[in-house]
Amino acid sequence: MTYSSSRRDAIKKVATMALAGSALTSLTTRVAAHEGAVNEKLKGKINHSVCAWCYNSIPLEELCKAAKSMGMGSIDLLGPKDFATAKKYDLTCAMVALSHKDWGITRGWNRTAHHEPLIKVYEHLIDETAKAGFTNLICFSGNREGLDDQQGIEHCAAGLKKLMSYAEKKKVTLVMELLNSKVDHHDYQCDHTAWGVELCKAIGSERFKLLYDIYHMQIMEGDVIRTIRENQQYIAHYHTGGVPGRNEIDETQELYYPAIMQAVADTGFKGFVAQEFIPKRQDKLASLKQGVLICDV
């Protein structure tokens, strides 16, 4: 990336001023510096997003500004209260969050006792997602807690099938995230691609698919590229993350993201890839931009 002399001087001047300012001024300056940089035009094969929770120290409005300046089209994992902020910057929310205190990763669809209250929660979220013009809404299996995997598939399918006609009518896709149960989410049931694919087959709707989290599935099963190629019809969305540690996706970790992203592009995938790593560097936005460029094959 190159900078003109005037731009370089301007950025240096802004950085100097920021040293004397407050923390908020420093943050705003860093965002402005990224906005002012000469951006490489993204290649267009990958649609880029970022998970908001990884940047909680940056106000959402500032994150949206920075994401837009980097060529992204989305902010992931927002609830309805934040939809307007994303739209203000002409950003979609490519994966809507399950924004409810009683339900989430550990308590999901694999318990029949959960189905009735979850259906009410999801009907509301489907309405809000559709009203905003978004299309993907996240969901979770829940923890096993002694439930065997076949029963888990049967229970999830029984509950989710009750929502499918409503989701289809509203043109909203329910997307179950694949998470690792080895390091981060012990006992989570949807922890292998094969399990998620069997659930997709059991539900039998184009409005139910998987969120293939590359970080999580590298930990659980590896063989990422072949898995993507063989199961692309069941995948609605991707998340990134460095292994080990879930930090920057650069040379500090074991995955080679350019090859993975090329495999994604080669499948004809038209959805979004969201950066979901936790930046270790002080300049979080520099790490984010690096991640986007690494994935822009």
Q: What local confidence, expressed as pLDDT, does residue 24 receive? A: 36
Please check whether residue 294 is in contact with residue 251, taking contact to mean a CB–CB distance below 8 angstroms. Answer: no
Residues 229, 223: Cα–Cα separation, whole Å: 10
- Token pair recorded at residue 231: 């199961």
What pairing do the DSSP bridges indicate for beta strands 136-139 and 47-50? Answer: unpaired
- Token pair recorded at residue 276: 């979901």
pTM assigned to the model = 0.87
Query: Where are the domains positioned within the chain?
Result: 1-38, 42-295
What are the beta bridge partners of residue 51? Answer: 76
User: Which residues, in sequence order, are CB contacts of 266 under 8 Å at separation 6+?
Assistant: 229
pLDDT digit string (tens) for the chain, length 297 residues: 333 334 344 434 434 334 333 443 344 434 444 444 434 589 999 999 999 999 999 999 999 999 999 999 999 999 999 999 999 999 999 999 998 888 999 999 999 999 999 999 999 999 999 999 999 999 999 999 999 999 999 999 999 999 999 999 999 999 999 999 999 999 999 999 999 999 999 999 999 999 999 999 999 999 999 999 999 999 999 999 999 999 999 999 999 999 999 999 999 999 999 999 999 999 999 999 999 999 999
User: Could you give the C-alpha distances from 254 to 153, 232, 239, 247, 275, in angstroms and in order?
Assistant: 32, 23, 16, 11, 16
Residues 7, 256: Cα–Cα separation, whole Å: 33
Please check whether residue 54 is in contact with residue 276, taking contact to mean a CB–CB distance below 8 angstroms. Answer: yes
Please check whether residue 289 is in contact with residue 70, taking contact to mean a CB–CB distance below 8 angstroms. Answer: yes
CATH of 42-295, picked from 3.40.50.80, 3.20.20.150, 3.40.50.12500, 3.40.640.10, is 3.20.20.150
Q: What local confidence, expressed as pLDDT, does residue 34 receive? A: 46
CB burial class (10 A; 0-12, 13-18, 19+) of residue 42? middle
